[in-house]
Chain A
Amino acid sequence: MEWASEPGEEGPKPGLNPPLRAAREGAPGRMEFKLEAHRIVSISLGKIYNSRVQRGGIKLHKNLLVSLVLRSARQVYLSDPCPGLYLAGPSGTPMALPQLPGEPAAGPAAGWGEPAPPAVPAAWQETQPHPERSAVPDAQRAVDAEPAAPGIDAGDAVLGGQAAAGPAWRLMEGPREAAAGGPGNPAGASEVFPEVARAASHHCGRPPGGEDQPGALGATPRGDCCCAKEEAPAPPPIGPRKRGAAGAGGVGGPAGCPAPSSTPLKKPRRDLEEPSSGAAAEEEEEMETGNVANLISIFGSSFSGLLRKSPGGGREEADGEENGPEAAEPGQICCDKPVLRDMNPWSTAIVAF
């Protein structure tokens, strides 16, 4: 057999991948690095989110890899706090997610830009006694914005949920609406959390950290209590979560909006937000980056499993990063519900998506 001889193809020089979008002129290399890390974080979150809705259940391997990337990017992102990074607004840096090509995420995000972040926690705290949840809406918002950027399909479930959440939220949550004010959304952002919170309060009175909560919520007929679920396979939050989002009769699904309707709702929602996007652009960018930072701190406190091995983590590490993907895989990890019980609300937030 003849083999044609081919000289080996030369690879590029080894090293970190250059940022794929040009950083601002004059920006230091570290800034580029952080921008890249930021972008990777947002893409990773989108993938984790997407994995919940893909056919065949969550792929443990892929989610593990994504969580590793997330951790690396996060380490870079937080390794050297750079105040400039968070105040990216006026200079029009492309780092804000809505600027990612082809992504109209600016719409919904713009809407959320209006109320200042502190208002959200306040609103949240009024209705939800759980103090830790104050940052959750930030996380929610940031996560919504972030996944929206990398993948439209990611956005569908999130934004759909959010979009559905907005108007539906108004219908069902009078007091919160008043507290949040505005068409938009910190309320929307917290939309998913009411679900989680409600789940928490409904299900055998366990603290909302339990992964079972959202799941159990959606799957009403389940008689089992997560307390008893230590050995037995527990219902995955994903399935019921999907139903909740889809509004397919999940009890306590606050939005109660079925997935089909979330799509049409998404459009009016964006239309609503478009006009204000220009004005809110600055605010929104600022908010988004700020939220990303919050989100990362939130995730940071949750990703203890990997962070324990990393230096200089400083923050409380109650749960592993794997909580995201793994908790999201209860379908696969059905025997691991006990782990998920210990999950703090931040991790629940991830799963809620």
Chain B
Amino acid sequence: MNYPDESTYGTKADIISTVEFNHTGELLATGDKGGRVVIFQREQESKNQVHRRGEYNVYSTFQSHEPEFDYLKSLEIEEKINKIRWLPQQNAAYFLLSTNDKTVKLWKVSERDKRPEGYNLKDEEGRLRDPATITTLRVPVLRPMDLMVEATPRRVFANAHTYHINSISVNSDYETYMSADDLRINLWNFEITNQSFNIVDIKPANMEELTEVITAAEFHPHHCNTFVYSSSKGTIRLCDMRASALCDRHTKFFEEPEDPSNRSFFSEIISSISDVKFSHSGRYIMTRDYLTVKVWDLNMENRPIETYQVHDYLRSKLCSLYENDCIFDKFECVWNGSDSVIMTGSYNNFFRMFDRNTKRDVTLEASRENSKPRAILKPRKVCVGGKRRKDEISVDSLDFSKKILHTAWHPSENIIAVAATNNLYIFQDKVN
């Protein structure tokens, strides 16, 4: 990747938990463990500064969720933002959904650059004027002011989930969205906060018989009746809401038979799907499990059409990764705008890109030391065994505390956002 521009945003030990571009790529939202949302806006390109093409600067920061305590169950509800999803822009304001484990909120982010001046009954500081002193009447006028971006919660969708919300997805009708927890998926209308429809319920009558949970869900990008959800067993179900009100019976079921030679104590864990994403075309879905990324054709249910090894060298380390809980890390995956490249994160602040057409892949690192503004990212390589070449890093030297779980790709350009713990890296490819 040539000529990346990098801007970093570091906060004090606040780990970024979600990253999402809006539909135009003008805005980039991040959510963190502290319940805050930070929105970056891309600078307008200027003729004078061609090389500073569209850097992202902080546009708005607000506290989306606060820690809550459920007194009935004696449970603390974390304020960590699990997902952010943008609504398409329909007027001057921006709207996004943000969710923690239990509550989804619709936020309106709008600009104010004028304020009224010249009230009759109030003075400029807002204090009431004594009516006796008013001798003339005037019409207040709007005067320019410094741009202020304000975020207001417009809807709060609460109390609909018993389990932890892992996904939200805006429907292509822009009127509804779904929220998914471990066992249920609910369909909401943006205007109605006190009701939601349950469209998937996989909770068994007897919880002792529970064998799988929902791990991610997404609406089809174009068909408002279609959605998919992935499970901890490595399967994906595609459902059509026209078929029935409760979509417990799938329309399509995607599962790859397990390779018996790879069986281990941890086979089930590593087959659990951590993320599922439709391609922009709507024809493919991509799933991420612990060691691989798979691309599925919606028309073929019995196996993926492509499988990419993200970090297969970890296969022999699963027991250690189980011990230190890394095996439970939920990596996300993203498509580029044209669905030709897919990207996902790994450890040691590495992230990987796979070109589906050329079948070439690259490992890059997001770190301050290695990335200076406009420096070219150098491909990295992990050495598995035998002799380690000069620039390679051995598997045992990998830092498992530096994990890239969340990445985002600009909808139309080659700009990526990579969240490395509490730092956000934005890389651009400058096309000459």
What is the size category of the interface that chain A forms with chain B?
35 or more
A190 to B407, CA, bound (A): 49
Per-position 1/0 for B28-68, Cβ under 8 A of A: 00000000000000000000000000000000000000000
Per-position 1/0 for A32-60, Cβ under 8 A of B: 00001100100100010000000111011
Tell whether, in the assembled complex, residue B75 and residue A339 are in contact, meaning their CB atoms are under 8 Å apart: no
Binds B, one of A80-88, A197-205, A280-288, A323-331: A323-331
Contact A339:B74 (CB < 8 A) given known A11-B312, A65-B269, A332-B164: no
Tell whether, in the assembled complex, residue B78 and residue A56 are in contact, meaning their CB atoms are under 8 Å apart: yes
Contact with B316, one of A17, A55, A65, A330 (Cβ below 8 angstroms): A17
Q: Give the contacts of B331-370 with A (CB-CB under 8 A).
A: 353, 355, 358, 360-363
Tally of chain B residues near chain A (CB < 8 A): 67
Q: Give the contacts of A222-246 with B (CB-CB under 8 A).
A: 233, 235-236, 238-240, 242-243
B97: interface (CB < 8 Å): no
A26: interface (CB < 8 Å): no
Tell whether, in the assembled complex, residue B313 and residue A57 are in contact, meaning their CB atoms are under 8 Å apart: no
A263: interface (CB < 8 Å): no
Contact A61:B361 (CB < 8 A) given known A12-B313, A17-B266, A20-B320: no
Contact A305:B316 (CB < 8 A) given known A5-B360, A6-B363, A239-B74: no
A120: interface (CB < 8 Å): no
A165 to chain B, nearest CB (A): 21
A242 to B69, CA, bound (A): 15
Per-position 1/0 for B384-405, Cβ under 8 A of A: 1100000000000000000000
Per-position 1/0 for B370-385, Cβ under 8 A of A: 0000000001011011
Residues of B contacting A9 with CB < 8 Å? 309, 311-313, 381-382, 384
Contact A332:B163 (CB < 8 A) given known A1-B431, A2-B1, A11-B384: yes
B261: interface (CB < 8 Å): yes
B328: interface (CB < 8 Å): yes
A306 to B429, CA, bound (A): 50
A238 to B73, CA, bound (A): 9
Q: Give the contacts of B301-316 with A (CB-CB under 8 A).
A: 309, 311-313, 315-316
B384 to chain A, nearest CB (A): 5
B326: interface (CB < 8 Å): no
Tell whether, in the assembled complex, residue B210 and residue A64 are in contact, meaning their CB atoms are under 8 Å apart: yes
B101: interface (CB < 8 Å): yes
Contact count A vs B, C-beta below 8 Å: 193
Tell whether, in the assembled complex, residue B1 and residue A57 are in contact, meaning their CB atoms are under 8 Å apart: no
Contact A17:B265 (CB < 8 A) given known A11-B315, A43-B322, A43-B323: yes
Tell whether, in the assembled complex, residue B73 and residue A305 are in contact, meaning their CB atoms are under 8 Å apart: no
Tell whether, in the assembled complex, residue A339 and residue B206 are in contact, meaning their CB atoms are under 8 Å apart: yes
B264: interface (CB < 8 Å): yes
B355 to chain A, nearest CB (A): 6
Q: Give the contacts of B254-272 with A (CB-CB under 8 A).
A: 259, 261-266, 268-269, 272
A333 to B309, CA, bound (A): 36
A180 to B318, CA, bound (A): 41
Tell whether, in the assembled complex, residue B207 and residue A12 are in contact, meaning their CB atoms are under 8 Å apart: no
A179: interface (CB < 8 Å): no
Residues of B contacting A8 with CB < 8 Å? 309, 312, 361
A243 to B73, CA, bound (A): 12
Residues of B contacting A12 with CB < 8 Å? 312-313, 315-316, 384-385
Contact A330:B208 (CB < 8 A) given known A17-B318, A69-B322: no
Residues of A contacting B70 with CB < 8 Å? 331
Tell whether, in the assembled complex, residue B358 and residue A68 are in contact, meaning their CB atoms are under 8 Å apart: no
A17 to B318, CA, bound (A): 7
A56 to B82, CA, bound (A): 12
Residues of B contacting A20 with CB < 8 Å? 319-320
Tell whether, in the assembled complex, residue B73 and residue A235 are in contact, meaning their CB atoms are under 8 Å apart: yes
Tell whether, in the assembled complex, residue B363 and residue A333 are in contact, meaning their CB atoms are under 8 Å apart: no
Q: Give the contacts of B172-202 with A (CB-CB under 8 A).
A: 182-183
Contact A65:B72 (CB < 8 A) given known A4-B379, A14-B262: no
A74 to B363, CA, bound (A): 38
A236 to B163, CA, bound (A): 13
A144: interface (CB < 8 Å): no
Tell whether, in the assembled complex, residue A240 and residue B74 are in contact, meaning their CB atoms are under 8 Å apart: yes
B18: interface (CB < 8 Å): no
Residues of B contacting A332 with CB < 8 Å? 162-164, 182
Tell whether, in the assembled complex, residue B210 and residue A69 are in contact, meaning their CB atoms are under 8 Å apart: no
Contact A68:B268 (CB < 8 A) given known A236-B75, A331-B70: yes
A64 to B319, CA, bound (A): 17
B101's nearest neighbour on chain A, judged by CB, is A56
Residues of A contacting B215 with CB < 8 Å? 61
B residues near A (Cβ < 8 Å) are 1-2, 70, 72-78, 80, 101, 162-164, 166, 182-183, 206-213, 215, 232, 259, 261-266, 268-269, 272, 309, 311-313, 315-320, 322-323, 325, 328, 353, 355, 358, 360-363, 379, 381-382, 384-385, 414, 429, 431
Contact sample, A vs B, 10 pairs, CB 8 Å cutoff: A2-B1, A12-B313, A20-B320, A64-B213, A73-B265, A238-B75, A306-B211, A326-B210, A330-B73, A333-B162
Beyond A1-B2, A76-B265, A320-B210, 14 additional pairs, beta carbon < 8 A: A4-B362, A5-B361, A8-B312, A8-B361, A9-B312, A37-B265, A43-B322, A57-B164, A60-B183, A243-B74, A327-B207, A332-B162, A333-B163, A333-B207
Closest 10 pairs between A and B when the two form their complex, measured CB to CB = A239-B74, A320-B208, A11-B312, A56-B78, A305-B208, A12-B316, A4-B379, A331-B73, A331-B75, A57-B75
